[in-house]
Amino acid sequence: MRALRRFIDRMRAKSPWLLHFDCGSCNGCDIEILACLTPLYDVERFGIVHLGNPLHADLLLTSGTVNPRNRKVLANLYAQMPAPKVVVAVGACGLSGGVFRDAYNVVGGIDRVIPVDVYVPGCPPRPEAIIDGVVLGLQKLAGGGRGGR
């Protein structure tokens, strides 16, 4: 039983399907995230597939500040992901709200709404940094991720 569980955990790390959600980013981070899919970086080497549906996803990649309008959407998407799951926040705004953190319409970073596992700083972070963050997330996923087994 334990061997099977370890086996499945290894498969988790080998097949992360990620959902990318742009909360309220300037699109700088999003462009860098999508760049990871290009032939230069080719994240599909690691089995990473970029999806649009939380019901299929293992890893939530978010960028941008949370505001009162999209905080519910963010929470909804997270709730619809089956466990185990990992959240990676990308970019200064996603980490803390960035330069917008004191704006009247900004709630703050991603972790004000849902628990974040990996923080990738930068404005925007380079694709290498994003890939690094995702791979860190994979280790968490292999270790069980969030929401138990």
Partner 1 sequence: MDPRVLWTVVLMLAPFAGAASCVFLGRSPAGRRAVVLATGALLIAAALALLGEAPFRLEIPPGLRAPLGVCLTAADAALLAAFLYYGAKYRHAGILLLTLLQAAGLVVFKGVLTRSAAASGGIVVDGLACLMVLVVSIVGALICFQALPYMDNHERHYGVSPSRQPRFFGVMLLFLGAMNGFVLFHDLSFLYAFFELTTLCSFLLIGHDRTHVAVRNALRALWMNSLGGVAFVLGMIEAFRSSGTLDLAGALAAPRLEGDATYFVALALLGIACLVKSAQFPFQGWLLGAMVAPTPVSALLHSSTMVKIGVYFLLRLAPGFPGSFLGQALALAGSFGFLAAAGLAVGQSNGKKVLAYSTISNLGLMFACIGVNTGSALLAATLLLAFHAVLKAMLFLSVGAIEQHIESRDIEDMRGLYTAMPLTALITLAGVVMMIFPPFGVLLGKWMAIEAVARHLPAVVMIALGSALTVLYWARWAGTLLSDPLGGRFHAERQPVLTWLALGSLGLGGAALSVAAPWIVERGLAPIWHPAYGTAYAVVAGGLESATGSFAVLPLSLAAACGLALSAFALHRAFRARRVPPYLSGLQTGEGASFRGPLQQAVRVAARNYYLDRIFGEDRLNPWVNLGGAILLTLILGGVL
Partner 2 sequence: MSFGALHGLGGLAGGLLVGFLAAGLDRILTARLQSRIGPPLLQPVYDVVKLLGKEALIVNAWQAFCACTTLLTAALAWLLFVLQSDLLLVFFVQAVGAVFLVVGALASGSPYSHIGAHRELLQMLAYEPLLVLVFIGMYLETGSFRLEVLFAWPRPLLWRMPFLFLVLAFALGIKMRKSPFDLSACHHAHQELVRGVLTDYSGPLLALTEIAHAFEVALMLGFFTLFWPGWGVGRFLLPVAVWAFVIGVDNATARSNWRWMLGTAWGLGLGLAIVNLVWIGQG
Query: Which residues contact partner 1 by CB under 8 A?
Result: 21, 53-55, 72-74, 76-77, 79-80
CB atoms within 10 A of CB 41: 15
- Residue 44 is a binding residue for partner 2 (CB under 8 A): yes
Q: Which of 143, 93, 144, 138 is nearest to 118 (CA)?
A: 138
Instruction: Report 60-119 residues binding partner 2 (CB under 8 A).
Output: 80, 82-84
CA–CA separation, 69 vs 73, rounded Å? Answer: 8
Q: Which of 53, 76, 105, 139 binds partner 2 (CB under 8 A)?
A: 53
DSSP 146: B
* Nearer of residues 23 and 92 to partner 1, judged by Cβ: 23
Instruction: Supply the Cα-derived Rg of the chain in whole angstroms.
Output: 15
* Nearer of residues 121 and 147 to partner 2, judged by Cβ: 147
- Residue 56 is a binding residue for partner 2 (CB under 8 A): yes
The helix, strand and coil proportions of the chain, stated in percent and rounded to the nearest 5, come to 45, 20, 35
Residues that bind partner 2 (CB under 8 A): 5, 7-9, 11-12, 14-15, 17, 37, 39, 42, 44-47, 49-53, 55-56, 58, 80, 82-84, 147, 149
